Amino acid sequence: MILSLFLPLFLVFLVLGLPVVFGLLAAPGILLWMNGQERDLVLLYRNVFEGMNSFPLMAIPFFMLAGELMNRGGISLRIVGFAQAMVGHFRGGLAQVNVVDSMLFAGISGSAVADVSALGSIIIPQMEKKGYPRPFAAAITAASAIIGPIIPPSGIMIIYAYVMGESVAALFLAGIVPGILIGVALMITITLMANRYNLPQAMPRATWREAGAAGAAAFWPLLTPVLLMGGILTGVFTPTEAAAVTVGYSFIISLFVLKTLTLHDVPGVLIRAGLTSSVVMLLVGAAMAFKTVAALAHTPELLASTLLSLTDNPLLLLLLVNLLLFIVGMFLDAGPAIIILGPILAPIFTQLGVDPVHFAIVMVVNLTVGLLTPPMGLVLFATSAVSGLRVEVIARAVLPFLAVEFLVILLITYIPALSLTLPRLAGFLN
Amino acid sequence: MGLILGLANGIGAVNAALLMLGRWLGAACLGLMVVVILTQVFFRYVMDNALPWPEEASRFLMLWSTGLMAPTAFRRGGFVAIDMLVRLFPNGLATVLSIVMLSISIAVLWVALGIGWSETTGIGGRFALDSLRVPASLDLSVWAKVPKAAMMSAMLVGVVLLLLVAIELVLRNLCILTGRLHRLNEIPETIILGSGAE
């Protein structure tokens, strides 16, 4: 009985400012100890270790490393330049550019935080110079950055696939259309806002020559997703191997082709990627241990019966689960939330006939959008660091975009074909 | 109070040195992971010979990379926590709360240290890893199996380093509480990491 208190205790720790990784271990640990189950503390420790000791998870540090290499190699500037040539002439041009470069960068990096750091530092000052209010520039940067983990590659999807035993390739393919949909929805929102809020006039349309030059400059980086997805889909590489090959590719083009990276930069790149991935690994390990205690306390069964007692209509349940995930996303990072809730929620919906890949995408997209919601909004934190604005200011400015993204989540939820068509066409689903 | 300041700066200096070493070794592990996996791909597709050891070797390196680098992330504020409530409090109270939260972290790490030690030095650690071998003779004719303890030590070392960092952070907060912030040695750059996968 006492064990069922682990979830409230975890939330209390979280709100009081305990780092998530320690909260995930302290809350169940204290209750196991109070319950006289000291021996199970060993189980907790072993689960952290075994949770991290995984080959598929290794793709995460590799994708981070590839992103860091590309970023240090000046790739971000080329991508922004290419996006400007494509959509800079639209009304609210630079805001549109901001969305398009996030969509392009999403094909290289699997992380929204990396997207903000790489692109935000370039595009926010540019937008401000053209007359956009800084909170607006920061908000659209944050809102579009969450496309990073939805369009493949995606760290969050790798975690989902690892925990739930789904195919990484199927999830990657299923994320493409929803990611593009969010981008398009944001662009339409900007167009609608442009007149109402008198957003700055567009930049002149790029000539064919300028567009060609910008495309050529971004060609090699933009080939990355082709190599990555091509390798995985043709079965040449496992996702982990594909991630390592992407690192090798990024290294070679940055060093030898673009000549924007020097060997001197490499240790710094390795250290930055290593620091970030060490935090992910620890969180994954801790969340796996937390999940074990959740199972000991019969939380999955409890939550499932509570949800099913409300209604057994899958459409209503999907709406409820979206609201639940949205609230969870306010307090928890997407990674741990997936590890803890994935095994609890997914079986309920698959039993009701929802496709596992479809449910995975609903969960991933919802929790990724949760990165924009305070108090635990990692993308808000990163945007605050890049823009110098307070988290609260960005959180307010991002609200219209957040509303649009929630509508897209509902679209993805109720039109499974949006996520399932591509994996079906590629033969990953029946 | 001078004692606490001295301890904070002393442990800080030790941590800075240990963690710098950890970062370099961890970065080397990460670089080696890439090399190992690319070797695996090369041998499988070009040499038509699937090697047995790269998968385990790369997991070994990833665990060490994590154990050696996570403490730096912790020290530089890279472990994500919600600070909205804390920021509503007056400075003194916020510092006291930080000390309480860090003490909970220390308790977690202390228990983990005890368990980690017995796990690593116990029977589980004596089993050999499946495929990793190291040369046991100079002419490379004899290869010895690697005990699992070598892999498990990665987490134990990580716990020890995290514990040292947590102790340093408590001492620093005690100094801040007594108005000695300006006499503390600085911890370089605050990093925004989050759970990274995001």
Q: Is the pLDDT of residue B193 over 50?
A: no
Instruction: Determine the average pLDDT of the residues in A63-84.
Output: 83
Chain A residues touching B66 at Cβ < 8 A: 52, 277-278, 281-282
**Higher confidence at residue B96 or residue B190?**
B96
pLDDT of amino acid A423: 95
Taking only Cα atoms into account, the Rg of chain A, rounded to an integer number of angstroms, comes to 21
Instruction: Determine the average pLDDT of the residues in A288-310.
Output: 83
Answer whether A378 sits within 8 Å of B27, measured CB to CB. Answer: no
Structure-token pair, residue A253? 């083009």
Beta-carbon contacts of residue A255 (< 8 Å; ≥ 6 apart): A73, A261, A262, A263
Backbone phi, then psi, for A371, in 5-degree steps? Answer: -70, -10
Which segment of A208-217, A296-305, A368-377, B44-53 scores lowest on mean pLDDT?
A: A296-305
- Please state, for a pLDDT cut of 70, what percent of chain A lies above it: 99
For residue B133, the cross-strand partners are B145
pLDDT of amino acid A234: 87
Q: Which residue of A has its CA nearest to B153?
A: A49
Judged by DSSP in three states, B192 sits in coil
**B48/A contact by beta carbon, under 8 A:** no
**Confidence class of residue A361 from pLDDT cuts 50, 70 and 90?**
very high
> A289 with A51: CB under 8 angstroms?
yes
pLDDT of amino acid B196: 44
Instruction: Determine the average pLDDT of the residues in B18-44.
Output: 95
Instruction: Determine the average pLDDT of the residues in A143-150.
Output: 95
Answer whether B197 sits within 8 Å of A334, measured CB to CB. Answer: yes
Judged by DSSP in three states, B111 sits in helix
Residue A255 gets which letter from DSSP?
I
Phi-psi label, residue A390: left if phi above 0, alpha if psi -120 to 50, beta otherwise: beta
**Span A105-131, pLDDT tens digits:** 898 888 898 888 888 888 898 888 888
**Confidence class of residue B101 from pLDDT cuts 50, 70 and 90?**
very high
pLDDT of amino acid B190: 53
User: What is the rounded CA–CA span in Å between residue A91 and residue A199?
Assistant: 8
User: What is the rounded CA–CA span in Å between residue A386 and residue A113?
Assistant: 11
**Confidence class of residue B194 from pLDDT cuts 50, 70 and 90?**
very low
CB neighbour burial string for A89-106, b if at least 16 within 10 angstroms, e if fewer: ebbbbbbbbbbbbbbbbb
Beta-carbon contacts of residue A219 (< 8 Å; ≥ 6 apart): none
Beta-carbon contacts of residue A39 (< 8 Å; ≥ 6 apart): none
> B86 with B97: CB under 8 angstroms?
yes
Q: Is the pLDDT of residue B131 over 80?
A: yes
What does each C-alpha distance from A336 to A15, A64, A329, B176 come to in angstroms? Answer: 16, 18, 10, 32
- Please state, for a pLDDT cut of 90, what percent of chain A lies above it: 45
Compute the nearest-CA separation of A82 from chain B (Å).
Answer: 25
Beta-carbon contacts of residue A290 (< 8 Å; ≥ 6 apart): A6, A10, A24, A25, A27, A28, A336, A339, A340
How far does Cα A132 stand from its chain's mean position? 26
Of A64, A379, A381, the CB nearest to B196: A64
pLDDT of amino acid A136: 94
Highest mean pLDDT among A3-12, A184-193, A201-210: A184-193
Instruction: Determine the average pLDDT of the residues in A282-307.
Output: 85
A44 by Cβ neighbours in 10 Å (0-12 / 13-18 / 19+) ranks as: buried
User: What is the rounded CA–CA span in Å between residue A258 and residue A75?
Assistant: 9
Q: Is the pLDDT of residue B81 over 50?
A: yes
**B33/A contact by beta carbon, under 8 A:** yes
